[in-house]
Amino acid sequence: MKIRTGDIVTHVQRLAAGEAGGTVPDEEPPVVVFVHGLLTDSLASYYFTLGPALSAAGVDVVMYDLRGHGRSTRPTSGYRLENFVEDLALLLEGLDERRPVHVVGNSFGGTVAAGLAAWHPERVATAIMIESEPPVAVWNRHMADGLGHARRELVRQESIDWIAERYGSHTARLSKGAGRILEATTLAEEIPHGQVIDDDLSAIRCPVLAVFGDESGLSAQVPSLEAKLPLCRTVVLPRQGHSVLVEQPNRTRDLVLDWVREHHTPAARLETALSGAPR
């Protein structure tokens, strides 16, 4: 399915609760929206990991391709974080989805999830960030460094050959596709200059689950997230780097499903509503 979201058309796939097997729930199910990462990713990373499993467990699932990725429109410009966040808000509107959603984001997708929680709190029941950073000023600097390096290297055949030798032909094809995105768009220039939230994270009031690998540098955020977000739970997986979703899909599935079920009770929904109310 494709839906107009502002200046682009977004490719989206839905799996209703029970559609992928399992039992259709008697009451209104929770809805989970999956947001993938940048450049080498698409909704397929969830379609082949978490999406069908959550549908079978009684969850309404929404998966979509970010602008510039997969089967969504690839404009030459319009790649600040706020563009991605607004795409998601407009997608929910286009789907006529009125329930607060649980937003699961991997890597950059987790930053989009945090942005939606900060700028559209009425839309978000909880945010689940997998190997992600919230959109604060230091994140922009990290993205500038990473995207600058990717833009230089992924257009070089020598780099693609090295990736193929070390990580295999599939990863090399994805990396070559990422290079094409960087050549055809202003993504690398725009993302590091996107809108941010205050470092104290006070804009994020919903419950947050943050999942990291212990061998990833992003796990260093754990003390800060726990101190700044009163409704935050962190999980650090042992012997794991940045590729948590790909390498630990079953563990990630269980963490997400348990979290969504825990926060779908009437008491949890009331607490979430109160946490998002004006202070």
Tokens 């700044």 found at: 228
CB 207 within 8 A of CB 276: no
> Given strand 124-130, what is the order of strands in its sheet?
2-5, 8-15, 60-64, 31-35, 101-106, 124-130, 208-213, 232-237
Note the pLDDT of residue 266: 56
Note the pLDDT of residue 20: 67
Q: Render pLDDT for 208-232 as a digit per residue (tens, 0 to 9).
A: 999 999 999 999 999 999 999 999 9
- The Cα 247–Cα 131 span in angstroms is 13
User: Does pLDDT of 274 surpass 50?
Assistant: no
Where along the chain do its domains lie? 2-133+201-275, 136-193
Query: 2-133+201-275 domain in CATH 3.40.190.10?
Result: no
Identify residue 138 by its one-letter amino acid code.
Answer: V
CB 50 within 8 A of CB 43: no
Q: Is residue 86 left, alpha or beta, with left meaning phi > 0 and alpha meaning psi from -120 to 50?
A: alpha
Q: How far is CA 16 from the centre of its chain?
A: 20
Tokens 């220039």 found at: 189
- Residue 115: Cβ-neighbour burial (10 angstroms; 0-12, 13-18, 19+): buried
Q: Render pLDDT for 18-54 as a digit per residue (tens, 0 to 9).
A: 886 666 666 789 999 999 999 989 999 998 889 999 9
Closest CA to 115 of 130, 125, 127: 127
User: Does pLDDT of 268 surpass 90?
Assistant: no
SS3 (DSSP) at 275: helix
Give me the helix-helix angle, 137-153 and 169-184, nearest 10°: 110
Q: Render pLDDT for 161-172 as a digit per residue (tens, 0 to 9).
A: 999 999 899 889
C-alpha Rg value of the chain to the nearest Å: 18
> How many CB atoms are closer than 10 A to CB 166?
9
- The Cα 61–Cα 260 span in angstroms is 12
User: Does pLDDT of 278 surpass 80?
Assistant: no
Pick 274 or 198 by higher pLDDT: 198
Q: Kindly report the pTM of this predicted structure.
A: 0.92
Q: Render pLDDT for 130-147 as a digit per residue (tens, 0 to 9).
A: 999 999 999 999 999 999
SS3 (DSSP) at 159: helix
User: Does pLDDT of 277 surpass 50?
Assistant: no
- Whether the CA torsion 246, 251, 257, 263 is positive or negative: it is negative
Residues 6+ apart with CB under 8 A from 143: 191, 192
